[in-house]
Every structure is written in C-alpha cells, then in structure tokens.
Amino acid sequence: MMENIGVQPYMFEPVSDDDEDEDFVPQPIVRRLDMNVSEWCTCGNCARMTLETELVCCREIPQVTRRMSQVPEEISCMTDHPGLEPVCLNLYSLQNAMNVYRADHGRLRLRGMERQCRYLAYRWFVSWCWGFLGRSVRVVIPSCVVLRIRREFPNAAGQYVGFRPPLD
C-alpha cells in the first residue's frame, strides 16, 4: 500500500536563520560622559555623544560586527561597509522605505525631509543588523554610524534627540 504524503503543515515555510535570536534583549553598555573617546572607541570614527548609553563603538556590538565580517575585505569601521550607503544613506532607498513604513504604520509624523530620512536611516540600520526586534525593543546604534547618518541628513540647528529607551 502506498502512503499518501501530500502537503504537510509548514512544509513550505522558510527555515529560520540560526543567527537570529527570537528572545533578543539588548544589554546596554554603560559608560561615563567624562571618558575620553579613545577609551571606548576602537574603530577611530566615534565621537562624544550627549548620553552615556550612546557611547558605543561599532566593533563592540555583535550584530554589527557580524554584518562587518560579511565583507570580503577586512574593514575597521561599520561606516566603511559598502552596504551602509545603499541601505541607510541613499535618498531613493529611504523614499522607498517611507512607502513601506506608511503601509505598515501609517504616515510618519515627523516634520522635514532631513528628520524623516534620519529616522528611517536609523530604522533601516537596525533592521539590517539586528533583523526584526519586535514592539518596544530598542537598541543603541554605534556612535560612528549615528554621526555618519547625521552628516548625511543634518539638522540645521544641530539639535538631535539621541537614544530614547522604550516607554514600557
């Protein structure tokens, strides 16, 4: 007698990536604002930030260093990654990201194109390195990457919000 195999539940679902941790909870690196940048930055592109939780180098975040290691040649900073510009800094990619954001969340309620682009660049960077984090899960973006995004999409008055933890 021949068994009828047919379609089985979940047989066409994609296999999850072993690198993804479904229960990821970010562990903040806490430093003092009076520390010299050279005491915590190893990539050479970080700078003093306004909040202690933002004093983080790209080379000390496993999700970022994993993305950096995917480049054939060794790079010393995430800002040198050839994917950073097309994923997070390209205006046309961010315009497309705006369409995706609108479809998922509705209109982005930020005034000014530069501010919207900064916001989306941060979101796209997090998505690119960490994947989907879930609601109310926030991570600190490395200082060097934040500064690079701010250079590309500056605030005319030099006023930036900085990292905000979730409001749980």
Count Cβ neighbours within 10 Å for each residue of 48-64 and write b for 16 or more, e otherwise: ebeebebbbbbbebebb
pLDDT for residue 16 = 47
Task: Read off the DSSP letter of residue 13.
Answer: S
State the pLDDT confidence band at 25, using cuts at 50, 70 and 90: low
Percentage of the chain beyond pLDDT 70 is 80
Per-residue pLDDT for 88 more than 70? yes
Instruction: Label residue 2 left, alpha or beta by phi (over 0 means left) and psi (-120 to 50 means alpha).
Output: beta
Residue ranges covered by each domain of the chain = 37-152
pLDDT for residue 98 = 86
- pLDDT (average), residues 64-90: 96
State the pLDDT confidence band at 138, using cuts at 50, 70 and 90: confident
